[in-house]
Amino acid sequence: MQGFRFSEYDAPKGKSTFDQLFDIFKELLVFTSGDVDESISWLTQLDKEYEITTPEYGIGDFIEDLKRKGYLEQETPESGTLLPTPKTEKMLRNDALEQIFGKLKKGLSGQHGTRIAGKGDESSGDLRPYQFGDLPEQIAMTESLRNAHIRGASLSEEDLVVQETELKTQMSTVLMIDISHSMILYGEDRITPAKKVAMALAELITTRYPKDTLDILVFGDDAWQIEIKDLPYLQVGPYHTNTVAGLELAMDLLRRRKNPNKQIFMITDGKPSCLKENGGYYQNSFGLDRKIVNRCLNMAAAAKRLKIPITTFMIARDNYLQAFIQEFTEANGGKAFFTGLGGLGEMILHDYARNKKRRY
């Protein structure tokens, strides 16, 4: 039976009543998969217990402010149903980035470079003599003219210097999210932290690495692609875990990308338990089915041949499942992390940054 435990709410000092309510409301939106009515209901119950509102500012005022500030909108002009706006979805991703990857804001922004200097897309700040084949737009005219002036002669080829550039790596990433029933099994809410990690990663790539690509898919009995805006609204279904279908779709998405650097992140807490075959499903939730396992290992090896590393974030602690993931990782030559939910985001950040800084 699923249950919830709440600790006493300690309101941040100096925050307005709206901001205090809004912080809680955003968390509830992710938890309820974007259900505004349910989130307001939970918020009202929390307010009754912890007295967040005041006689001058109530939940009704909060709802009106959400609409006025552009965080909620009516589904249709005639409907009373309220929905989150794209502005809210952007804020949820940004909040997730701050919670999980907040340390990045203390560092330098920009792309990750290689050790190669050449015809790239970012200036390195260094100058070098002109060489045959350099592009005209690379010539640093001010410095070249200065060289000619120092020589006291007309500008010639020996005066020309060019602005050195750095070749930047680009990465195409597919993020796979397990939405099988086990993500809420035994009263543990694993899908909410998984959604936060996905939102944070999406915001990280789209803001700090704008030249990279990110595709997101979910997998249960089947696998299908979703958009970034769908992340807060993901829900677990009555599904088995068709890891093979997820990997097939991930590799198909990466085949369409022109970047030479490709990778797959897979967040899962359960064993593979499903395959599609002969127009139906082959399912077995009792232990590790060798037929399903072999298909998974074949997919891992196929990704390795395509030079697509798979990083698996395994949030189950069962020894036999960890043994399977180790076998899967060995077949792919990728990476695996065995972790609880607390450190999941940090490790995704760590591995993403490492894969970006490729050595050639």
Burial of 7 (0-12, 13-18, 19+ CB in 10 A): exposed
Average pLDDT, integer, range 328-354: 78
| 316: phi then psi, degrees, rounded to nearest 5 | -110, 150
CA–CA separation, 205 and 328 (whole Å): 27
CA–CA separation, 358 and 257 (whole Å): 18
**What single-letter DSSP state applies at residue 266?**
E
Residues 111 and 120 sit within 8 Å (Cβ to Cβ): no
Average pLDDT, integer, range 18-22: 96
CA–CA separation, 79 and 357 (whole Å): 50
Strands 213-219 and 171-178: parallel
What class is the 171-356 domain? alpha beta
Residues 125 and 110 sit within 8 Å (Cβ to Cβ): no
Provide the residue ranges of all domains of the chain, joining segments of one domain with +: 17-84, 114-168, 171-356
Q: Residue 172's CB: how many other CB atoms inside 10 A?
A: 20
Q: What is the mean pLDDT of the chain?
A: 84
C-alpha atoms less than 13 angstroms from C-alpha of 341 in its C-beta half-sphere: 13
CA dihedral 194, 196, 202, 208 (to 10 degrees): -130
Query: What pLDDT does residue 5 have?
Result: 64
Question: What's the pLDDT tens digit per position in 217-251?
Answer: 999 999 999 999 999 999 999 999 999 999 999 99
CA–CA separation, 45 and 242 (whole Å): 38
Angle at Cα 158 formed by Cα 154 and Cα 162, nearest 5°?
Answer: 110
Question: What's the pLDDT tens digit per position in 83-140?
Answer: 999 999 999 999 998 887 764 444 333 344 443 344 444 455 578 888 776 777 778 8
Question: What's the pLDDT tens digit per position in 264-281?
Answer: 999 888 789 999 999 999
Query: What pLDDT does residue 163 have?
Result: 79
Query: What pLDDT does residue 111 have?
Result: 45
CA–CA separation, 227 and 177 (whole Å): 13
Backbone torsion region of residue 151, taken as left when φ is above 0, otherwise alpha when ψ lies between -120 and 50, otherwise beta: alpha
Query: What pLDDT does residue 7 have?
Result: 66
The neighbouring-strand residues paired with 166 are 117, 122
**What single-letter DSSP state applies at residue 76?**
S
Lowest mean pLDDT among 71-80, 139-148, 166-175, 264-273: 166-175
* pLDDT confidence band for 4 (50 / 70 / 90): low
* pLDDT confidence band for 55 (50 / 70 / 90): very high
Question: What's the pLDDT tens digit per position in 172-215?
Answer: 999 999 999 988 877 788 888 889 889 988 998 888 888 899 99
Query: What pLDDT does residue 209 have?
Result: 85
Residues 355 and 309 sit within 8 Å (Cβ to Cβ): yes
